[in-house]
Amino acid sequence: MQLPPFQPRRFLPPDFDPADPASLAPVFDRLGASLTEAGDAEALAAWLDAYSEVNAAISEHGARTYIAMTCQTDDPAREKAYLHFVEVVEPWLKPRQFALQRQLAEHPTFGALPDYYEVFRRSVRNRVALYREANVARETEEALLGQQYQKLCAAMTVSLDGEDLTLPQAAKRLLEPDRSRRQAAWEAVAARRLQDREAMEDIFDQLLTLRGEIAREAGFPDYRAYAFAAKERFDYTPADCERFHDAIERGLVPLLREQHSLRKARLGVDALRPWDLEVDPEGREALRPFVGADELVAKSQAIFGRLDPRLGESFALLGQNDLLDLESRKGKAPGGYQETLREARLPFIFMNAVGTPSDVTTLLHEAGHAFHALAARGQRLGEYRDSPIEFCEVASMAMELIAAPELEEFYGPGGDARRARREHLEKILQFFPWMATVDAFQHWLYTHPGHTRAERRAAWRGLRERFGGLEDWSGHEGALEHGWHRQLHIFLHPFYYVEYGIAQLGALQLWRAAKENPRAAIDQYLRGLSLGGSAPLPRLFEASGIAFDFSAGTLQPLAQEVRAALAA
């Protein structure tokens, strides 16, 4: 994965080592001196080109250490390189980055930069206002605790029928028609997670303390207020999120329970249990869309090529540059993600594929992120090659839906592709209440300082009752109360989850447009992605032909459209 920079370096010396503070120091000294010398807006824009180059090189090094660590968490050398970046490089960088940003914010021509830089200007001023040197060590400790959580998760395996399986591999059993085998697999996974519940709680208690200290140090009453500012949520508030939760409770939870009632009847069971939620209710064998990563990649490539040559060419770049690690294996971190190598301006996709329909959805999702990174790679300012998460997730979720008409590539002619599309739409209905649960739980966590673990369990259980379906958890109350442990965002990325809900509404709007005119919808999609982060959130949505709105007025018609598609 040795890739050349997208553009030749012009500012950095040939021997630059982003892992060595001794190599970083003269670079930051030069940046500070040249910023002082920038006498007008044109010179300041040129300085920002150099600043973007430096940040891209450092960011790519950090991304590479993270990718290597998550691909094999039990490799001591990879762990050492990642921890060096987290414990040495990032703490060294943060005060120097802040010093440059403060110098930039105070620069006499900063306000005279062209309108192109307005979103960046707002961001810099916000970061300068939030920065506290005392929080650097706390953020380092927070990252280390997050890595402990990932190691705990990655080490979890279960033994089923004499076979040692990762949890994603064991989860495949939940698709099997044999209910007793599903139950055995679900209970084994639940029991394995509960073995580490006290270690998980210990980690989270430390994270709560740290995050409260970070917020108070920055002058905020609680971490929720700090997180909204730090995530630059300029276009919506905690109250908007709470109204979103209410809209989901009124408009989507009844649809979820309606689907569960139908599932219960079709399965012919007295009670719907947690191990009954993934299996095909007609008793058919689980869909097997592919065997192995090579087939997953080849069939995805064919889909993207048919959708639009631009998408096909973009996805081909990943395979050509060894930027895919897709199969589950022991020691690999859980989950899936897309990470951008910012100097090469190329995306990397990581996931834990085991041959299920959800793996196909995951790759389509992460490919959407990759298309976003490639569409925005021409933005001059490095900061604009990323977008707000609320729009990044439109890129990924919309691709799941836009590509759905091509799923025959995986399933062949007949009903299996229709079945896969139906299951995907059912998961969207299931997602909104789950998202509301996770987001509302985080609102509760950070606005109830000093709560006990028992109170935390009760709060989670109450939210599951508010937003959950009809499944019966009798005998597995411990698994229910600790179910939030498996949501890595709560540990690693606090308050990063409502973005998925906001984005899903945008994705559903693009899905509706694609049903009418697929080519025009993809044009709109790529037009919005090409802006990167160069426009405020509402304008990014507008450029894609969709509304930035997550009120009941937008949610209800889209929910009914999904319901109608399922009924059809």
Question: What's the CA angle centered on 508, arms 503 and 513, to 5 degrees?
Answer: 125
For tokens 């790519």, the residue is: 60
DSSP-derived pairing of the beta strands 163-166 and 324-327: unpaired
Averaged confidence pLDDT in the chain = 95
Separation between Cα atoms, residue 152 and residue 145, nearest integer Å: 11
Q: Within 13 A of 517's CA, how many CA atoms are on the CB side?
A: 7
- Tokens (6 digits) for 386: 């990323």
For tokens 């394995």, the residue is: 192
Domain ranges of the chain: 21-131
Q: Within 13 A of 536's CA, how many CA atoms are on the CB side?
A: 11
Give one word for 376, left, alpha or beta, with left for phi > 0 and alpha for psi -120 to 50: alpha
Is the separation of the CB atoms in 537 and 388 below 8 Å? yes
pLDDT for res 334: 83
Helices 389-402 and 357-375 meet at what angle, rounded to 10? 130
pLDDT for res 286: 82
Q: Within 13 A of 432's CA, how many CA atoms are on the CB side?
A: 31
Query: Which residues, other chains included, contact 318 with Cβ-Cβ below 8 Å and sequence gap of 6+?
Result: 324, 346, 347, 348, 349, 370
Separation between Cα atoms, residue 397 and residue 393, nearest integer Å: 6
In order, the DSSP letters of 368-385 are: HHHHHHHHTTT-SSGGGG
pLDDT in tens, the chain (568 residues): 679 999 999 999 988 999 999 999 999 999 999 999 999 999 999 999 999 999 999 999 999 999 999 999 999 999 999 999 999 999 999 999 999 999 999 999 999 999 999 999 999 999 999 999 999 899 999 999 999 999 999 899 999 999 999 898 899 899 899 999 999 999 999 999 999 999 999 999 999 999 999 999 999 999 999 999 999 999 999 999 999 999 999 999 999 999 999 999 999 999 999 999 999 998 888 889 999 999 999 999 999 999 999 999 999 999 999 999 999 998 999 889 999 999 999 999 999 999 999 999 999 999 999 999 999 999 999 999 999 999 999 999 999 999 999 999 999 988 899 999 999 999 999 999 999 999 999 999 999 999 999 999 999 999 999 999 999 999 999 999 999 999 999 999 999 999 999 999 999 999 999 999 999 999 999 999 999 999 999 999 999 999 999 999 999 999 999 999 988 8
The pTM of this model reads 0.88
